[in-house]
Chain A
Amino acid sequence: MGNVLVIAEHRDGQLKKASLSAFAFAKKYVQKQGGEFSILVMGHNVGAVADAASCFGAAKVFVADHADLANYLAESYAAVAAQAAKDAGAQVVAATTTTQAKDLLPRVAAKLEAGMASDIVGLLDNGWFLRPVWAGSAVVEVEISTPVKVVTVRQTEFEAAPKGAAGGQKVPVNVAVNLGALRKRFEKFEVIKSERPELTDARVIVSGGRGTKGADGFKLLEGLADLLGAAVGATRAAVDAGWVPNDLQVGQTGKVVAPELYIAAGVSGAIQHLAGMKSSKVIVAINKDPEAPIFNVADYGLVADLFKAVPEMAEEIKKAKA
């Protein structure tokens, strides 16, 4: 039996929705293995985040609230998280796979001499984990043999924990960070604003690849996306070419998404792209090339030129909605 500590993430005073998947994992884990599930909130003036985090059935919410934690740095956050893991008697330290968790959790694992499994998609009754490897071409059963285990949890594979009444007991964590000794300074966080939903939260995603031929092609996709309240995604090739910002990349080394509807336009279907979207509920592929591998995973395939089909689709949807 051992406790699970989930590191919650927040921005602008809001608990991130992504973290709810790690909460769901923790609940499932303690159901199978015993122990209790707790949450750790780190930052400065994070009282409201801690309040929000206390509504998901955790026994305790550990709160590290300190001016020295005002800005995220892997070095200071790892030290505090390792301390909190000890305070919590944690056998498992978890977080949802986000860029922050990918940066931070291995450093926490190193502090705790813990083995780590990245981006797990399931857990087995014997306490092992399931995770994809080789861009999702295989799934492997992973045993972590150290007393403390660290995992990141794939958001799309654990349904967000439902919100309940406030209940988790708040426990302060002692913060002893010497910022001057870290040899690293936070300078600024440059927010990339978008009116559209975040890729990992969107119900519908309209994604483009090399076939969009450039920023103008993406304009068509954006029109369709706005009509559907959708997020815009892109393949590595499109991002690489500089047609869209890099945080729109869907795939093995970008975002992993599983919306209700994924519309892939001018996307060939490279292995590393499929790794990021093949869990989507319904996949639509629009591509000129009838042999494109994307058609092998699409529920509905349309062999057509996206420059004609995408505007036509927008018109049809407008008509149907009218």
Chain B
Amino acid sequence: MKILVTAKRVTDPDVKIKVKPDGSGVITEGVDYKVNPFDEIAIEEAIRIKEKGQAEIVVVSIGPSEATKEIRNGLAMGADRGILVVASEVLDSFAVARILHKIVSEEKPDLILMGKQAVDGDNNQAAQILAELLGWPQACFASKITLSDDRKKAKVVREADGGLDHVELDLPAIITAELRLNEPRYASLPGIMKAKKKPLKEIPLASMGVDTKPKVVWHKFSEPASRKAGIKVPDVPTLVQKLRNEAKVL
């Protein structure tokens, strides 16, 4: 079977991002980039499927040419080849879905695995839009995926408010990864060496003939209303007394 997984290049989620003084965006100078953590979980899941049987794993990213690093990371973990759609412009989720749609129509995967959201834009849209464009079933926020022996079906446990939703999908289908799906491995040194020789194709976005006209435009950025640090209390009785008499929340 063929599995397509995404690997978005995002700013390091552990670094506090600041807004540019003119509000035109966020400051990315000097900030490290990483693969979107939820995409990393999707890549890990693809590799686990491959380890249980045959599979070809294609890692796709859309972004600047530096994003080959995020793809190579996936190849080092165990994926087979990469595709980078080289684009410098800001793309909304619909445009991303259309670009992926084009790639899917050429690659014809049996399964698409994506992170449930990217931790920069926090949109949580591209997979669902892609599923609708393809007319494929979707299972978002998966915490467990079990493929049938013939690999034609997938049982998925989805995390929902108040419980777990169990569904079964006929492949081809799109599944998005929740945090608890698995714990991604680190790339091994031999894996990293091997990844250097694995095929990675770069395609300029402009050559694809995809309509990426934005439907959603970001304008001014601002800092969120900040909270001021309050006071330190010396002991528990003081804390309880203040919560009762000052804040009046107990």
Chain A residues engaging chain B, CB cutoff 8 angstroms: 11, 72-75, 78, 98-100, 102-107, 109-111, 113-119, 128, 132-146, 182-192, 198, 204, 228, 236, 239-240, 246-247, 249, 252-253, 260-261, 270-272, 278, 281-284, 295-304, 309, 312-313, 316-317, 320
* Chain B residue at minimal CB-CB distance from A116: B125
Please report whether the interface of chain B is mostly helix, strand, loop or mixed according to DSSP: mixed
**Residues of B contacting A189 in the complex (Cβ-Cβ under 8 angstroms):** 160, 163-166
- The segment from B58-66, B73-81, B103-111, B115-123 found at the interface with A is B115-123
Given A107-B129, A138-B26, A253-B117 contact (CB < 8 Å): yes
Q: Is the CB of B233 within 8 A of A134?
A: no
B173 touches A239 (CB 8 A): no
Docked complex Cα distance between A70 and B159 (Å): 19
Contact B166 A136 (CB under 8 A): no
CB neighbours (8 Å) of A185 from chain B are 167-168
- Verify A145–B162 contact, CB threshold 8 A: no
* Nearest chain A CB to B240 CB, angstrom units: 4
A138 to B226, CA, bound (A): 11
Known: A119-B122, A135-B119. 6 other contacts (CB 8 A): A115-B215, A143-B216, A297-B227, A298-B230, A316-B236, A316-B240
Q: Is the CB of A184 within 8 A of B17?
A: no
Instruction: Report yes or no: B128 in contact with A107, Cβ–Cβ below 8 A.
Output: yes
How long is the Cα–Cα vector from A188 to B165 in the complex, in angstroms? 6
Q: Which residues of B contact A261 (CB under 8 A)?
A: 243, 247, 249-250
Nearest CB on A from B38, distance (A): 8
17 CB-based A-B contacts, threshold 8 Å: A99-B160, A115-B92, A115-B94, A116-B216, A184-B138, A187-B166, A189-B165, A189-B166, A191-B163, A198-B161, A246-B179, A247-B161, A253-B117, A283-B227, A301-B233, A302-B233, A313-B236
* A247-B138 contact given A106-B93, A144-B216, CB 8 Å threshold: no
**Cβ-closest chain A residue relative to B223:** A138
Given contacts A142-B216, A271-B16, contact A300 B166 (CB under 8 A): no
Contact pick for B179, options A110, A240, A271, CB 8 Å: A240
The residues of B with any CB-CB pair to A shorter than 8 Å are 11, 13-14, 16-19, 26, 38, 92-94, 97, 116-117, 119-129, 131-133, 136-141, 143, 155, 158-170, 173, 178-180, 214-224, 227, 229-233, 235-237, 239-244, 247, 249-250
A96–B76 alpha-carbon span in the complex (Å): 40
> Shortest Cβ distance from B155 into chain A, in angstroms?
7
CB distance from B211 to the nearest CB of A (A): 11
Give the contacting residue for B124; candidates A106, A114, A303; CB below 8 A.
Answer: A106
Contact (Cβ within 8 A) B230 A239: no
| A128-B219, A145-B217, A261-B249 given; A183·B122 CB < 8 A | no
What distance in Å separates the Cβ of A79 from its nearest Cβ neighbour in chain B? 10
Contact A100 B160 (CB under 8 A): yes
Complex: how many Å from CA A144 to CA B218?
A: 9
| Top-8 shortest CB links A-B | A115-B215, A110-B132, A106-B128, A299-B230, A184-B137, A183-B170, A106-B125, A187-B166
B residues within 8 A CB of A272? 13, 119
Q: Which residues of A contact B132 (CB under 8 A)?
A: 78, 106-107, 110-111
Residues of B within 8 A of A115 (CB): 92, 94, 214-216
Q: Report how far A136 CA is from B121 CA in the complex, Å.
A: 10
- Pick from B11, B178, B217: contact of A143, CB below 8 A: B217
Q: In the assembled complex, how far is the CB of residue A119 from the closest CB belonging to chain B, in whole angstroms?
A: 7
B249 and A260 form a contact (CB under 8 A): yes
**Given known A140-B218, A144-B216, contact A300–B236 (CB-CB < 8 A):** no
Contact (Cβ within 8 A) B92 A253:
no
* CB closest residue in chain B, given A150: B125
In the complex the two chains form, what is the Cα distance from A119 to B173 in whole Å?
A: 26
In Å, the complex CA distance between A204 and B140 comes to 30
Q: Are B240 and A246 in contact (CB under 8 A)?
A: no
Q: Quick one: given A139-B221, A239-B180, are A74 and B128 in contact (CB under 8 Å)? A: yes
User: Do A316 and B167 touch (CB < 8 A)?
Assistant: no
Question: Which residues of the other chain, A, contact B141 by a CB distance below 8 angstroms?
Answer: 99, 102-103
A300 touches B242 (CB 8 A): yes
Q: Is the CB of A140 within 8 A of B122?
A: no
Give Cα A253–Cα B38 distance, bound, in whole angstroms. Answer: 10
- Report yes or no: B214 in contact with A145, Cβ–Cβ below 8 A: yes
> Which residue among B214, B239, B242 has the maximum number of chain A CB atoms within 10 Å of its CB?
B239
Whether the pair B236, A309 counts as a contact (CB closer than 8 A) is yes
Q: Which residue of B lies closest to A311 (CB)?
A: B236
Q: Give Cα distance in the complex from A301 to B237, angstroms.
A: 13
Contact check, A139 vs B224: say whether CB atoms are below 8 A apart: yes
Instruction: Select B240's contact among A99, A191, A239, A320, beta carbons within 8 Å.
Output: A320
- Are A118 and B14 within 8 A (Cβ)? no
- Shortest CB-to-CB span from B78 to chain A, Å, is 22
Q: Which residue of B lies closest to A75 (CB)?
A: B137
The listed residue (B163, B173, B230) touching A300 by CB distance below 8 A is B230
